[in-house]
Amino acid sequence: MRYQHVCVEVFSDTFPPHVVTSTQIEDQLAPVYERLGLPEGRLELMTGIRERRFFDPGTQPGAVSARTADKAVTASGIDRRYFGALIHGSVCRDQLEPATASSVHHALGLPSSALVLDVSNACIGLLNGITILANMIELGQLRAALVVGTEVGRNLVEGTIETLLNNPSLTRQDVKLAFASLTIGSGSAAVVLCDRKLSRTGNRLLGGAVRAKTNSHELCAGGVVPEKHGDDRPRMQTDSEALLHAGIGLADETWSETKRALNWSNSDVDKTFTHQVGRAHRKLLLERLRLAPEIDFSTFESLGNTGAVALPMAVSLGIKRGHLSAGDQVALLGIGSGLNAVMLGMQWQA
């Protein structure tokens, strides 16, 4: 993928109000730790995740997405009549139908001529949304567009804790498969894209590459199984070690193709943002791709794994904290279970 006419105008975010530490989660799991002889502190030690954040109980993704999207549209300074598409790209949605994007579109007051839809693809849904919209802008079908999403991780984490506590035959392997679920956090992110002629920033989206390794689709799977768990909260099982190594291999392939598409070498990359999984993933990913950790910006320590909004939230926070400078060439390195990868390059100006 190569783009000549696409700019990334705004990244925005909404952070949840409630902080839950890894220590607090382990305190709740104390009976399990004692019964299975698990060492205290292993959650933060193994993942590097000190805390994550949750929205209020009962929060619907669409309501938060509307606020995040409104901030992004307002910050862009682009008249709403120019927005020709809205994609809601998070794992979490308000319901199976209609699309959560519909309520967000209504709240924003965007044109009735806009394309409105949800895109769901594990942890890269928003990145997929960016590529869909960028393709349409490049073709001249859109002048401006928006992708947004909100992940609400409270139910998954609290449901997982309850399942572990109430399983009398629980084994260490059961805990291992549920471990990734305890790293999940919540958050919201939005990205405004527009035609280069409409842009005030000149932050160009240059292009990138996508790759799939779907023979690994069973390594991480989640959903709602009321008859098994007794409630409608989602649960997830993850073979974390196998997923880690399969994901790093796919990332290596995708990064090589991304560099070919952009005519980049590693020395052309000034800054990076990766999907925020945890310490081991970040270390192995950067080592495998031969990218310096000093140019990367991480948020997993305080936000946990926030799914499809993790990478764009990291970009938004990185911008606020001065991680990007004018002239930087920026790599967005996205990987999601399935396995699928999207990697994009930006030329940052403002």
- Percent of the chain exceeding pLDDT 70 equals 98
Domain of 342, CATH number, reads 3.40.47.10
Averaged over 89-105, what is the pLDDT? Answer: 96
Our count of domains for the chain comes to 1
- 247 alpha-carbon distance from chain centroid: 15
- Write out the residue range of the structural domain in which residue 329 sits: 204-347
pLDDT digits (tens, 9 = 90+) for 263-294: 999 999 999 999 999 999 999 999 999 999 99
Domain presence at residue 138? no
pLDDT attached to residue 230: 66
Query: Distance (Å, rounded) from C-alpha 290 to C-alpha 48?
Result: 21
Residues designated as active site: 97, 123
Domain presence at residue 106? no
Q: How is residue 170 written in tokens?
A: 């629980």
The structure's pTM equals: 0.94
Domain presence at residue 144? no
Query: Distance (Å, rounded) from C-alpha 22 to C-alpha 131?
Result: 35
Domain presence at residue 51? no
CA angle 91, 97, 99 (to 5 degrees): 60
Domain presence at residue 309? yes
Domain presence at residue 180? no
Average pLDDT, the chain: 94
User: Is the Cα dihedral 13, 16, 17, 18 positive or negative?
Assistant: negative
Are 274 and 300 in contact by the 8 Å Cβ rule? The answer is no
pLDDT attached to residue 242: 84
Res 227 pLDDT > 60: no
Averaged over 223-238, what is the pLDDT? Answer: 71
Domain presence at residue 118? no
Res 219 pLDDT > 80: no
pLDDT digits (tens, 9 = 90+) for 142-188: 999 999 999 999 999 999 999 999 988 889 998 888 888 999 999 99
pLDDT attached to residue 233: 78
